[in-house]
Amino acid sequence: MITPYNPSVFNVSGVDSRIAAGGALGMLHAPTAPPPQAVLSSILELERIKVTFDHQQLEEPFYKIHSSKCKSWLCPKCRVGKGLALKESLMNKAYLFKEPRLYTITINREFFKNPAEAYHYVMDNKFIARLLTKEMKIKCWIWILEAQEKNGDGWPHWHILIDVADLPTKWYNRTTKKSQYTKPENTRGWRKYNNFFDLNKIHRLLHKWKIGGCYLSEKKSSFKSPRHAINYIVKYLIKTPERFFPQWMLHYTGLRFYNPSKALGSMSAEPRKVKPKEQEEEQEEEEPEEKEKKTKPRLPIDRISECGLKYYFSYYDIEQDKMIFTEPAWGLPGSIQKILGAVENKDLNFKTQKEYSIWGFKHKKDVERFEHIWDNEDLLYALAEVIESKKQEYLNQWDEA
Ligand SMILES: [Zn+2]
């Protein structure tokens, strides 16, 4: 079914608001005033120094085009970069996991109406932090959320990586499930464990709190190496699940996919890159009334269906001595390659030492022309159709698999 073009579908600021946001004439976001050449030259002329200004001599910056990404964990395009950034962050703290262990916390489905309710209950009450920090005295831990793909309906479960090095040595009786610090008189049925992690206590608490259970993830000795364990756990964030994500996750705003303990400190899942202005502003502290005005956060399914369908430009502004980012606008960044005046440059990835292509314009007038090309009802209508079909594809993947 074809729906008529409606700009609000895109939920993006139109031409007017872009200009209001700082763009001068035309659509380019160019907040700076031109250099005061006239003033300068007249002063110099008073000093009897002859000055002629040639505007062509002022070199224009390179206007580099970027693709605007949704940065959602549910986006197949964005999660890889985020996952790798988190992995790097974690690897830098691998030394904190002296005795790493991997477990999985699962949900007892009888306690809940649906997966979303279970997720909300566990998160809202901060049960995992309570369990690990307060009850089990684990200092360093991190959990990673995954939706159960194989046996069912996308119920949440949490992979946890913990460091048990601080836990004391204890004696444990398998039959009675009792544990104690001192050696029992009769050691029959008892075993001494270094860094004793009391799984029975965990099961008891998870049952009491009406959550579910906790299980050893996999019995692999390689997980005794912190780096192996980190590799294993972040895999769930980097890889896109075969079935994609269940409906409830695609419609749940504010899903958390990982959380480190306080002792582990903050972790970054943001690929190291300069951020466009729009995203920088999102993270800034807001005035209270601004918060009230702020519209409801958008659904993940809407965000990920639009990923990569907006472009923005960046350029170095000599006057301000800083990078300027234009506001993201609807359009395919790749289309620049077919536009007259587009230039391909090479950039170097310092990490991999590999060159990669960047595209842009040498002249502001070309940028403006590109913006005008995309400010076209038919093209925006076509984009809306792309978004809609992506959305349907994402929504149906789980059930079709
Ligand atoms: Zn994305």
**Separation of 74 CA from ligand 1 center, angstroms?**
8
Range of weakest confidence among 29-33, 267-271, 352-356? 29-33
Q: Give the phi and the psi of residue 97 in degrees, each rounded to 5.
A: -95, 80
Question: Using CA atoms, how far apart are residues 164 and 99, in angstroms rounded to an integer?
Answer: 5
The Cα 299–Cα 295 span in angstroms is 12
What type of residue sits at position 157? H
Closest CA to 140 of 148, 151, 129: 129
Q: What pTM, to 2 d.p., does this model score?
A: 0.77
SS3 of residue 326 by DSSP: coil
The pLDDT of residue 116: 96
- If you average pLDDT over residues 1-26, what whole number do you get? 38
Interaxial angle between packed helices 76-91 and 226-238, expressed in degrees from 0 to 180 and rounded to the nearest 10? 160
Give the distance (Å) from ligand 1 centre to CA of residue 71: 5
> How many Å lie between the centroid of ligand 1 and the Cα of residue 81?
10
> Scanning the structure block, which residue is given the tokens 């019995």?
219
Ligand 1 center to 222 CA (angstroms): 33
Q: If you measure from the C-alpha of residue 32 to the centroid of ligand 1, how many angstroms do you get, rounded to a whole number? A: 31
pLDDT band of residue 245 (cuts 50, 70, 90) is very high
Question: Lowest-pLDDT range, 41-45, 78-82, 138-142, 164-168?
Answer: 41-45
Strand pairing class (258-260; 141-147): antiparallel
Whole-number Å distance, alpha carbon 383 to ligand 1 midpoint, is: 16
Distance 69 CA to ligand 1 centre (A): 5
pLDDT category of residue 219 using cuts at 50, 70 and 90:
low
Question: 30-40: b or e for each residue (b if 16 or more CB lie within 10 Å)?
Answer: beeeeeeeeee
The Cα–Cα gap between 18 and 272 comes to 27
The reported pLDDT for the residue numbered 139 is: 95
pLDDT of residue 365 exceeding 50: yes
Measured in Å, residue 330 CA sits from the centre of ligand 1 at 15
For 114-128, b/e burial (b = at least 16 CB within 10 A) is ebbebbebbbeeebb
Give the 3-state secondary structure of residue 249.
helix
- The predicted model gives 198-204 an average pLDDT of 90
Tell which wins on pLDDT, 345 or 18. Answer: 345
> Ligand 1 centre and the CA of 355: distance in Å?
23
